[in-house]
Amino acid sequence: MKTVGTDMFQSGPGKPSSPDPLTDDAALRRTWVAVSAAILGVFMSILDIQITNASLKDIFGSLSATQDEGSWMSTAYLAAEVTVIPVTAFFMTVLGLRMYMLASGFFFLVFSTLCGYAWNLESMIVFRMLQGLAGGALIPMAMTLLLTRLPPASRPTGLAWLMLSTTLAPAFGPTIGGVLTSMYGWPSIFFINWGPGILLLIGLAHGLDHDAGKAGALRQADWLSIATMTVGLVSLIVFLEEGNTRDWFDSRFVQVFFGLALVNLSIWIYRMFSRTSPYVNLRLYARRNFGVSSIVGATSGMALYGSTFLLPLFLSQIAGYNSFQIGLVIMWMGLPQIFLMPVVARFAKVYDNRLICALGLILFAVSSFMNTNMTADTMRDQLVASQLFRGLGQPMIVLTLSNFATARMELTNMSSASSLFNMSRILGGAVGTAILATLLTTREKYHSMRLGESVSFFFEQCA
């Protein structure tokens, strides 16, 4: 694998080269405005996965929900976000890129506001699901926008900023949520989206030209594939998110959703491979660069989302930190990335991206091992070093993986590539969180049993 640089985006063999994007200074500035706005939208969308983590006690108390019931808040958002990502390319064709991005941004703000006004758990779950549907579409559209509208020399820079937003959002989510909750109450974590959201809409409206959609594509759509994909992905997320709280396959509920996921995703995959022009090209996974980078991206997503799940839980339940204090700890994972990402982007043009990615994975692994000795006496100052190591490693991983995934990718496949790469990463995060939650429950039961044995033995000795 050669060093990935500014020549990584090429047309496929035997196909005419696509026309270069406009290089006029004014047009380029407008394109950068649109790309910047789209990156802001990605940050908002991913931020809202994690922003409730440090505020769950306040939200559950206000909505009179238990922790098990409240878990449906994140399940609904994540299921909706993962489901909409693969069909984004299809809806871009139907509505046009500009219209679809503006509509997604607008409805994301509307449903964010409704989340802040939720009057009970049921209304919160519905609004979170609708928020995820709108926000999830912004993620692959931003990647498609910068890869197809920016000149080749500017794409690595745009990709670096996009990847920075995807790693900063999980890091700063609990921090921002904790600070806002402690100062203004939990509804403010949803209302805060209006600030960047207005900038998002203005930037997209100014930077993107009108493009005609193809409404006729709705009549030619493979609705059976879309339906099976939707049911399959939603069932998979519900299975992963709810399995631990319901004791996995001992629960009929979990068994049903596992079966729905298995059957529907199998049908969807078969139909995608059997059609000559599928709405998402799953054959891209067979390409070495894209397949390997998607697998590594999914596993690193497991680690990233898993760490942002475990640490706030530890600080809240063991250390007794409030939402503001939790945010002050988590933010140390995000600060190094702001300064390091531009450096990594420059190095990625010169040095072998495999070496940079390997170094990032090593740093992330070291940070995880540094957290293995946490006890009830562990305080904030003892966690800063591990957070810094994690923040140093993440930019090296996500930027180089995105370079590998899009290297020499044809423009006709760019939408599918961005959708599948982002879906793999988010699904990896869901799997990682489910595994860690299960391990945590298992170890709690084990230690509870051991404590019970010790107590029984103590009383026997006293007798």
Region 242-269: mean pLDDT is 86
The answer to the question of residue 447 being in a domain is: no
Looking at residue 67, its pLDDT comes to: 65
Task: Give the tens place of pLDDT for each residue, 197-231.
Answer: 899 999 988 888 877 767 776 777 778 888 888 88
pLDDT of residue 213: 67
Residue 9: pLDDT band with limits 50, 70, 90 = very low
What's the pLDDT band for 350 if we cut at 50, 70, 90?
Answer: confident
Domain identity same for 134 and 175: yes
Q: What is the chain's mean pLDDT, rounded?
A: 79
Which band of pLDDT confidence, cut at 50, 70 and 90, is reported for residue 273? confident
Instruction: Determine, yes or no, domain membership for 352.
Output: yes
Residue 462 lies in a domain: no
In a domain, 4, yes or no: no
HSE (side-chain half, CA atoms, 13 Å) at 7: 3
- Start-to-end CA distance of the chain, whole Å, equals 71
- How far is it, in rounded angstroms, from Cα 364 to Cα 198? 35
Q: What residue type is 3 in one-letter code? A: T
- The answer to whether 307 and 293 have CB atoms below 8 angstroms apart is no
Whether 124 and 31 have beta carbons less than 8 Å apart is answered as: no
User: Same domain for 258 and 288?
Assistant: no
Which helix (DSSP H) or strand (DSSP E) does residue 353 occupy?
helix 353-370
The answer to whether residue 6 scores a pLDDT higher than 80 is no
Q: Are residues 249 and 309 in the same domain?
A: no
Q: What is the dihedral of CA 108, 109, 115, 117, to 10 degrees?
A: -160
Q: Is the pLDDT of residue 457 over 70?
A: no
pLDDT at 262: 92
In terms of domains, do 228 and 216 share one? no
Q: What confidence tens digit (pLDDT) does each residue in 15-74 have?
A: 444 444 444 677 778 888 888 888 888 888 888 876 776 667 777 777 777 666 666 777
> By mean pLDDT, which of 2-16, 274-288, 396-410 is the weakest?
2-16
| 217 and 235 co-located in one domain | no
Mean pLDDT within 260-281: 85
Answer yes or no: is pLDDT of 301 > 60.
Answer: yes
Same-domain check for residues 95 and 83: yes
In a domain, 106, yes or no: yes
Which tokens sit at 47? 């931020």
Instruction: Report long-range pairs for 215-219 (Cβ below 8 Å, ≥24 apart).
Output: 215/94, 217/90, 217/93, 217/94, 218/94
Domain enclosing residue 153, as ranges = 25-221+279-441
pTM given for the model: 0.75
Give the pLDDT of residue 106.
92
Residue 136: give its domain's CATH number.
1.20.1250.20
Query: What pLDDT is attached to residue 22?
Result: 44
Q: Are 177 and 189 in contact (CB under 8 A)?
A: yes
Residue 414 has pLDDT above 80, yes or no: no
Specify the DSSP class assigned to residue 216. G
Question: Is the separation of the CB atoms in 193 and 44 below 8 Å?
Answer: yes
More reliable by pLDDT, 64 or 105: 105
Question: What integer pLDDT is reported at residue 323 of this predicted model?
Answer: 66
Burial tier of 462 (Cβ tally within 10 Å: 0-12, 13-18, 19+) = exposed
Residues 310, 384 within the same domain: yes
pLDDT recorded at residue 429? 79
Q: Can you give the pLDDT at residue 111?
A: 92
Query: How far, in Å, CA of 92 to CA of 84, rounded?
Result: 12
User: Which of 59-63, 69-73, 79-83, 163-167 reaches the highest mean pLDDT?
Assistant: 79-83
Same domain, residue pair 133 and 50: yes
Number of C-beta neighbours around residue 385 at 10 A: 14
* 162 and 138 in a common domain: yes
How many structural domains is the chain composed of?
Answer: 2
Per-residue pLDDT for 362 more than 60?
yes
**CA neighbor of 306 nearest in space, from 400, 177, 170:** 170
DSSP code string of 228-278: HHHHHHHHHHHHHHHTTTTTGGGSHHHHHHHHHHHHHHHHHHHHHHH-SS-
**Same domain as 162, residue 73:** yes
Asked if 49 contacts 82 with a C-beta cutoff of 8 angstroms, the reply is no
Label residue 405 exposed, middle or buried (CB < 10 Å: 0-12, 13-18, 19+). Answer: buried
Whether residue 3 is predicted with pLDDT greater than 60 in this model: the reply is no
DSSP per position, 363-392 = HHHHHHHHTTT--TT--GGGTHHHHHHHHH
Mean pLDDT value across residues 419-437: 80
Say which residue the tokens 């049908």 belong to. Answer: 267
CB contact burial 415-435 (16+ within 10 A = b; e otherwise): bbbbbbbbbbbbbbbbbbbbe
Give the number of C-alpha atoms closer than 13 A to the C-alpha of residue 281, restricted to the C-beta side.
18
pLDDT at 327 over 80: no
Is 393 within a domain?
A: yes
Proportion of the chain above pLDDT 70, given as a percent: 88
Cα separation, 299 vs 153, in Å, equals 30
Residue 459 located in a structural domain: no
CB of 424 within 8 A of CB of 305? no
419, 435: one domain: yes
Task: With respect to residue 463, please indicate whether it lies within any of the assigned structural domains.
Answer: no
User: Which contacts (CB < 8 Å, 24+ apart) does range 233-237 have?
Assistant: 233/79, 233/82, 233/83, 233/86, 233/261, 233/265, 234/79, 234/80, 234/83, 235/260, 235/261, 235/264, 236/261, 236/265, 236/427, 236/430, 237/75, 237/78, 237/79, 237/82, 237/430
Query: Does residue 108 surpass a pLDDT of 80?
Result: yes
Closest to 410 in 3D by CA, of 281, 293, 298, 291: 281
Q: Is the pLDDT of residue 332 over 70?
A: yes
Q: Say if residue 132's pLDDT is above 80.
A: yes
Degrees (nearest 5) of the Cα angle 151, 156, 161? 110
Same domain assignment for residues 424 and 283: yes
Determine the distance from the C-alpha atom of residue 205 to the mean position of all C-alpha atoms in its chain, rounded to a whole number: 25
